[in-house]
Structure 1
Amino acid sequence: MIDHSGISAADISKAVSFYDQAFAPLSISMLAEVPIEFTDGKRVVGYGTHRPQFWLSEGEAQKPPVHFAFAAPTRAAVDAFYEAALKAGGSDNGAPGIRPHYHENYYGAFVLDPEGNNIEAVCHKAET
């Protein structure tokens, strides 16, 4: 399947601040920053749990905005992601809850990042 992916952000500092905070409840953190001499002077950072799998690159934001869903280990982590993302400057795009039209245990939350991308945290486990 997909090995890694990424997006561009016009305001890379704002994007890094947002993702640092929003990803913390999912145990996702910045694991790499590409030396600027290899990126035409643009900042490029990679996030993941064990290796970089989601990259942020300084540059014009994609149009139209994109959607990414990140795995959450528990429903509580989805809730924490949502709250952290809102506090970090994201906008509500769907409060945490069951989305039975996907499947009976689909629990997700949606937030628009500072560039307007739809960022989701989802847990597929039954509530325990």
Structure 2
Amino acid sequence: MIDHIGLGFSDFAAARRFYVEALAPLGIGVVMEVTKAETGGSYEGAGLGSAGKPFFWVRGGGRTAPKVHIAFAAEDRASVDAFHAAALAAGGRDNGAPGLRPDYHPNYYAAFVLDPDGHNIEAVCHKPA
């Protein structure tokens, strides 16, 4: 089981803003921050998560390469729709509108966006409608 994951971005402030806005409909927000002063100037970062536990870290210091795909769990299909709308409003680019992906399984409802550095970010709900 994965405890957390972190990605580096070319523009930390833009990435932080994007993820704060895009993940809010999924109940995910900033629960911890690390400043350059705390790291001796090596990097700054924001830990996003829920229930006080950061599990997705956004940090400055350069783009993560190669590009990655991350899927966040959504409680329901409405949350997938809200994620997609929020991510586009935050500057993401559409990479797959909300909808069923029956090639994965009959209840796989997902949406995909590209973040500011081009990573493929997904929200998915596996529950029936």
Provide the TM-score with structure 1 as the length reference. Answer: 0.95
Unaligned runs of 5+ in 1: none
* 1:11 aligned residue: 11
Q: Which amino acid aligns with 2:7?
A: I
How far off is 1:57 after superposition?
1.1
How far off is 1:39 after superposition?
2.5
For the pair 1:106 / 2:116, whether they are aligned, the reply is: no
* 1:68 aligned residue: 70
How far off is 1:21 after superposition?
0.5
Tell me the distance in 2 between the aligned counterparts of 1:35 and 1:87: 27
* 2:55 aligned residue: 53
Bigger shift: residues 37-46 or 108-117: 37-46
Q: Secondary structure at the match of 1:126?
A: coil
Q: Which amino acid aligns with 1:113?
A: D
Tell me the distance in 1 between the aligned counterparts of 2:123 and 2:101: 12
Q: Secondary structure at the match of 2:102?
A: coil
Tell me the distance in 1 between the aligned counterparts of 2:45 and 2:112: 24
* 1:24 aligned residue: 24
How far off is 1:63 after superposition?
1.9
Q: Which amino acid aligns with 1:47?
A: L
How far off is 1:38 after superposition?
3.6
Instruction: Could you list the structure 1 runs, at least 4 aligned residues long, displaced by more than 3 angstroms after superposition.
Output: none
Tell me the distance in 2 between the aligned counterparts of 1:39 and 1:100: 45
How far off is 1:35 after superposition?
3.7
For the pair 1:122 / 2:124, whether they are aligned, the reply is: yes
Q: Deviations over 1:23-75 (max 9, x none)?
A: 11001000000242343422111000120000011121122211100000000
The partner residue of 1:92 within 85, 91, 94 is: 94
Unaligned runs of 5+ in 2: none
Tell me the distance in 2 between the aligned counterparts of 1:40 and 1:78: 38
Bigger shift: residues 32-41 or 54-63: 32-41
Superposition RMSD in Å = 0.9
Q: Secondary structure at the match of 1:36?
A: coil
